[in-house]
Structure 1
Amino acid sequence: MTPPDLSVYRLVFRLGDALIRSGASSATTTKALLAVCTRAGLKHPSVSVTLGQLMVSDQPDDGSPPRTRFHEIEPGALDIRWRTRAEEITEHYLLGDVGLEEALEEIEDQVNQKPSHQWWKLVVGYGVLGTGFGLILGGQPLTAIGGALTSMVISFIFRILGHLGAPGIFGYAAGGFVAVLAATALNTAFSLDQVAVCIVAAIAARLAGIASYGAVQDAITGWYISATGRMMEVATSTAGLVAGVAAGIGAVRLLWGPSVQLIETVEADTTHWTASILGAMFVAAGFTLASGGWAVRLLALTGLGGATELVYLFLLEVGTTPFLSITVSTAITGAACVLISRPINLSSNAIMMVSLMPLFPGMLIYQGLLGSLFGLEDSGATLLEALITAFCLSVGGVLGQYLFSEGLWLARRRQFHHTHPGESFSKVMPEEYNSRDIMLPVFSKPFNGSEARPAGRTPKGRPTADA
């Protein structure tokens, strides 16, 4: 393999790593990487996203065998700056504003820079997030503060174990164990009786996982292996947290006695709108900050999180069922995510992860699994409610994205046919003229090499790769 081809593969792997680790769907990632391969001149490129692995291949000559390289991708948290920069470099390269070596140098410089997940941003962000969930669950001000402190302690635990190289499931288990001890100690110190609220407020965000929405979108578009891998990531982290919480409950009962109410039904408070909306804004702001978002993005995502909660509460007030309220409110939010993705320069999937976080049924998952471990009644019904809620939440958001993005794709098709009469347009075709749509979600599976490239010139007057 020649040095230029190696550079292409390095660029593709860096960009794919940034997109997949921060929750981009397999369809969107495949389309972007196919476009990069085609722009670089690789012939018959193929891109495949599987369980934690990215595979890229090409065939230099018709008579030669294909060349294939693999890249392992570790699970990661949403990094807004890293993902935004990767999308910018992709778009600039596809438009011809930068060359291959310059694009590779920019992406390598970004990798070597200090990550957005600085410890103080993570700690403060998850502290704000814990406060928000405490308010959503109807906790007292001191309970919300306790949720914030507990969440910050968990962040330190994750950081320490991460540096030690411990497997993720053990980090989540340690976080759940420490959450129970910290919440119990704080409630004892302040003479509160909301230990369960404090625990759920601290770990609810950890139960969500950035892989959930990407998994649903992958399943809808037919990427079943990738969807299974993302769901396994969610299941593993949730199982680790619940196991740690269960161990923590056993330790507390030995140290404090059985009188502490560690297991009780915790529900979101939908009667006090001010506290709920403020809590949702805190959750969105905390997750944005923990993900490296700042300035305009922080303000936009905080407002969108509060607006989503407001629409949800309004639908409940007019008599809509909770499941339908979640579906409709998240569908509206999904459409809004596509609308504002370009102005704030962040993909709609990343926006949706943040804005829908306040509605994610982390407390129901926690209660259902924990109740099953301790043999509590109705735990199965609670877990089923959590699964239905998560389904409505994810599908509603994806539905809003789909409807709005399809409208935008239709407008782009008409614009393209007006500008390039006689040429064909496909939103999954890896062409330079589609690079301006790199942030739009894709709901059609971009089959490798099946699209016919039309002859002609790009909108900027440059020949296509095959010309």
Structure 2
Amino acid sequence: MAGVSDARETYRVLDLALRVGEILLSSGAGAADVTATMLGLTRHCGLPNADIDVTFTLLRMSYQADPEEPPVLLTRNVAQRDIDYDDLTRVQGLVNDVMRDRVDVAEARRRVAWINSTDHYLPVWSAVVGSGVVGAGIALLLDGDALVTSVAFLAGVAITVLMRTLNRQRWPMFYQQAAGGLVATVLALVAAVVAERAGLAVDVSLVITANIVMLLSGIGFMGAIQDALSGFYLTSGARIIEALLATAGLIAGVSAGLALAPGLGVSTIGLRPGRIELAAPPLVLVGAVVAACAFAFTSYAPLRSLPAIAMSTVAGHLGYLAVLDPRDARPWAAAVAAVIIGLLSYAVAGRVRVPPLVVVVPALVPMLPGLTIYRGLSYMSDGDTLGILQLSAAAATTIALAAGVILGEYVAQPLRRNARRIEDRLSGPRMVGVMHSHLARRTRGTSAGA
């Protein structure tokens, strides 16, 4: 496309790129993917040297057509972080159409405005129920019985309703997490009292662990590691601080709930939430698939993507269980699983017409070290140096997952070596936005016309 010289047209192109970047960043895309997509759009639309800055809460773009003219500068705050994989998929389709010259800038701006203004395609109650199913799936994975799984489902529903209410009232994340942890713990204690009166044995630690799954910060921590691996250290640091602060709020809420245990007649001796003990392999696979697909459902992933997510989850966890040895560290098993998930996800995502990110993240959710992060900070709050080891293990596992997924993508695309460059500073795999195939097509078109 020819270069843009008109200031109004420059504004339109930058505005389009910023709106696309906002949707990508708010839906969990890494800073590298967001930057590459915004730069790819502006280049294709005639702004070859636009300046882009992506941070955790702010997007900035500027373009200077002539050194003697003032630059056009636009910024956009990313305040709302409501993951919507349906919007993400629609934006991916819009990027594809722009890169293939199927739509012009004006039509693209209309479409992205429509995407931003439409509601979720699922009713609110279905996403709330889906959150409960996520908790139930993790409870199965942790070898929970029918009682633990049922309480985890109820806790997931109650916590989601509470978090949505507090979010609408603009409560800070720390207090939302504290309230959620308190509710999760109280529900677990009440379940223990009811079970004891009914003559049933219940592991209170396991019930609390299953209840707090929806509040863990494993996804945020993995996003931080991905940004760090991509060289976006400022954004990575902000994500890590958010994840640690959210976990600290969760610990405060759980501690407040445990303070009520004596009044309810529940003993806290030997009580240690966050313990990880996997069930038998068949139950692990069932729980992982249920949790992954339910998470994708609550994130409004297109329904056609659920079989691909289930397939990637099963394959990844089979690899994980095959390598996992209780006597060894967990990161190697996580790395093998992530490579398998990355390899399959990039292969099947195109067949169901969704970005690879929509398949990758849900498949990794059951393996994220959120419980390990929780245990690490919990130990540290008690003055136990074991917390440092737990946090180190969580970091190692997260790095293994992030690096493994990227390696899987490299293995999945051995025939695209000539299309590895997005721009001078950014190279490597993309999970959403401008893909390598777009650049390969542009390169072939340029060579043919030369």
Answer yes or no: same fold by TM over 0.5. yes
- Structure 2 match to 1:341: 349
**Offset, 1:116:** 4.8
**Separation in 1, partners of 2:13, 2:239:** 27
CA contact (8 A) 2:86 2:302 kept: no
Could you list the per-position Cα deviations for residues 182-241 of structure 1 after superposition, in whole angstroms to 9, with x for gaps in the alignment? Answer: 121123223342222122222224323433333223222222112222222222222221
Does residue 409 (structure 1) correspond to residue 416 (structure 2)? The answer is yes
CA contact (8 A) 2:181 2:250 kept: yes
**Offset, 1:152:** 1.0
CA contact (8 A) 1:57 1:68 kept: yes
Structure 2 regions of 5+ residues with no counterpart? 1-5, 425-429
CA contact (8 A) 1:218 1:226 kept: yes
Structure 1 regions of 5+ residues with no counterpart? 414-424, 431-435, 443-450
- Structure 1 match to 2:427: none
- Structure 1 match to 2:3: none
Does residue 384 (structure 1) correspond to residue 392 (structure 2)? The answer is yes
- Structure 2 vs 1, CA of residues 150 and 321 (structure 1 numbering), >3 Å: closer, same or farther? same
2:247 to 238, 253, 256: 238
Single out whichever of 281-290 and 165-174 deviates more from structure 2.
Answer: 165-174
2:223 to 207, 214, 218: 214
Does residue 73 (structure 1) correspond to residue 67 (structure 2)? The answer is no
CA contact (8 A) 1:195 1:262 kept: yes
- Structure 2 match to 1:202: 211
2:23 to 5, 14, 18: 18
- Structure 2 match to 1:291: 299
The one-letter amino acid paired with 1:141 is A
- Structure 1 match to 2:190: 185
Could you list the per-position Cα deviations for residues 71-117 of structure 1 after superposition, in whole angstroms to 9, with x for gaps in the alignment? Answer: 11125243110111111111111211111111111111111111257
- Structure 2 vs 1, CA of residues 141 and 105 (structure 1 numbering), >3 Å: closer, same or farther? same
1:247 to 226, 236, 256: 256
Report the TM-score when normalising by structure 2.
0.87
Single out whichever of 218-227 and 318-327 deviates more from structure 2.
Answer: 318-327
Could you list the per-position Cα deviations for residues 409-440 of structure 1 after superposition, in whole angstroms to 9, with x for gaps in the alignment? Answer: 31xx2xxxxxxxxxxx662149xxxxx99657
Could you list the per-position Cα deviations for residues 373-430 of structure 1 after superposition, in whole angstroms to 9, with x for gaps in the alignment? Answer: 345684444343333323323332233234434x2431xx2xxxxxxxxxxx662149
2:324 to 301, 308, 316: 316
**Separation in 1, partners of 2:52, 2:408:** 27
CA contact (8 A) 2:341 2:408 kept: yes
CA contact (8 A) 1:50 1:226 kept: yes
**Offset, 1:180:** 0.5
**Separation in 2, partners of 1:287, 1:319:** 30
1:28 to 19, 25, 33: 33
- Structure 2 match to 1:58: 63
CA contact (8 A) 1:80 1:291 kept: yes
Question: 1:292 is paired with a residue of what secondary structure?
Answer: coil
Question: 2:212 is paired with a residue of what secondary structure?
Answer: helix
**Separation in 1, partners of 2:387, 2:240:** 21
- Structure 2 vs 1, CA of residues 318 and 195 (structure 1 numbering), >3 Å: closer, same or farther? closer
**Separation in 1, partners of 2:274, 2:334:** 20
For this pair of structures, how many residues does the alignment match? Answer: 432
CA contact (8 A) 2:33 2:431 kept: no
Does residue 91 (structure 1) correspond to residue 99 (structure 2)? The answer is no
CA contact (8 A) 2:380 2:388 kept: yes
**Separation in 2, partners of 1:46, 1:186:** 56
Does residue 350 (structure 1) correspond to residue 358 (structure 2)? The answer is yes
- Structure 2 match to 1:82: 87
Single out whichever of 138-147 and 373-382 deviates more from structure 2.
Answer: 373-382
- Structure 2 match to 1:134: 139
**Separation in 1, partners of 2:52, 2:92:** 17
**Separation in 2, partners of 1:224, 1:108:** 31
CA contact (8 A) 1:347 1:440 kept: no
- Structure 2 vs 1, CA of residues 370 and 441 (structure 1 numbering), >3 Å: closer, same or farther? farther
**Separation in 2, partners of 1:236, 1:318:** 30
CA contact (8 A) 1:348 1:441 kept: no
Question: 1:343 is paired with a residue of what secondary structure?
Answer: coil
Single out whichever of 1-10 and 154-163 deviates more from structure 2.
Answer: 1-10
1:161 to 159, 162, 166: 166
- Structure 1 match to 2:313: 305
Give the fraction of aligned pairs with identical amino acids, expressed as a percent: 26
